[in-house]
């Protein structure tokens, strides 16, 4: 089954900007890739928008461009021609477009350097970004509304694992990504959040397919829980053999 130019362009964006989600998508059924690549390409574009310029106003304009595009989809207006927006318009419902709009609004935090006030503020951000992304992905794949709570719970673990991997770079760019970055705090967060992965039990096939993009979450969180000093060293990347084995296990078992 071949893809058109837009889907191929989305696949290239994901391959270049989100290696884990690209690998998970390539391990998914071909039909699902028509949905996964546009949604993940959107996320790549939005997540990097605040980082491609040092000018806050330009970053705001970039994010607003994507908000305007989603508004066109949500309001069933003529949608601008774009190799990510166009395929998104084919798969998103108005409600899903509005959920992704809230994701963009949350991404405005990335423009500044302010720290989160507390753990609750961090969790709000992670749910509005990764949580929203994975729930919209699950919906687009056909997951029922009853899956939302569990999908978002599992997404907490995926989001925290990704956040732990990003901490050194965020700090290098002048961000203050943790309200409390002590090793024992990171270890406790990881240990507690591992339990959220148990919410996968009983989820629909579509929901589990969407969550497969977080196939590294369990291994990352276990590493942080046991050796939190690895976060500061940026030492949470697995060897290629272990990465491949982890993705295969997730694909076969249907659980991350």
Q: How confident is the model at residue 1 (pLDDT cuts 50, 70, 90)?
A: low
Gap between the Cα atoms of 140 and 138, Å rounded: 5
pLDDT digits (tens, 9 = 90+) for 202-213: 999 999 999 999
pLDDT digits (tens, 9 = 90+) for 49-73: 998 888 999 999 999 999 999 999 9
pLDDT digits (tens, 9 = 90+) for 118-149: 889 999 999 999 999 999 999 999 999 999 99
**pLDDT reading at 241 higher than 60:** no
The whole model's pTM is what? 0.94
Q: How far is CA 123 from CA 41, 75, 95, 177, 195, in A?
A: 23, 30, 22, 12, 15
């Amino acid at each position: 089954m071949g893809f058109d130019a837009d889907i191929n362009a989305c696949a290239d964006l994901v391959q270049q900007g989100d290696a884990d989600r690209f690998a998970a998508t390539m391990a998914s059924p071909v039909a699902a890739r028509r949905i996964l690549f546009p949604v993940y390409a959107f996320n790549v574009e939005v997540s990097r928008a605040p980082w491609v310029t040092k000018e806050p106003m330009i970053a705001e304009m970039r994010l607003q461009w994507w908000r305007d595009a989603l508004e066109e989809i949500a309001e069933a207006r003529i949608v601008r021609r774009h190799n990510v927006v166009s395929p998104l318009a084919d798969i998103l419902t108005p409600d899903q477009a509005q959920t992704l709009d809230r994701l963009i609004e949350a991404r405005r935090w990335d423009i500044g350097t302010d720290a989160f006030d507390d753990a609750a503020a961090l969790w709000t951000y992670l749910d509005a970004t990764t949580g929203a992304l994975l729930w919209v992905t699950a919906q687009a794949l056909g997951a029922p509304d009853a899956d939302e709570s569990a999908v978002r719970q599992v997404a907490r673990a995926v989001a925290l694992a990704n956040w732990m991997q990003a901490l050194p770079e965020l700090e290098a760019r002048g961000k203050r990504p943790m309200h409390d970055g002590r090793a024992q705090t990171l270890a406790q967060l990881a240990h507690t959040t591992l339990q959220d992965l148990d919410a996968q039990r009983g989820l629909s096939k579509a929901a589990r397919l969407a969550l497969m993009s977080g196939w590294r979450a369990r291994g990352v969180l276990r590493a942080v829980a046991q050796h939190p000093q690895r976060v500061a060293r940026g030492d949470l990347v697995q060897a290629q053999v272990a990465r491949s084995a982890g993705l295969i296990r997730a694909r076969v078992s249907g659980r991350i």
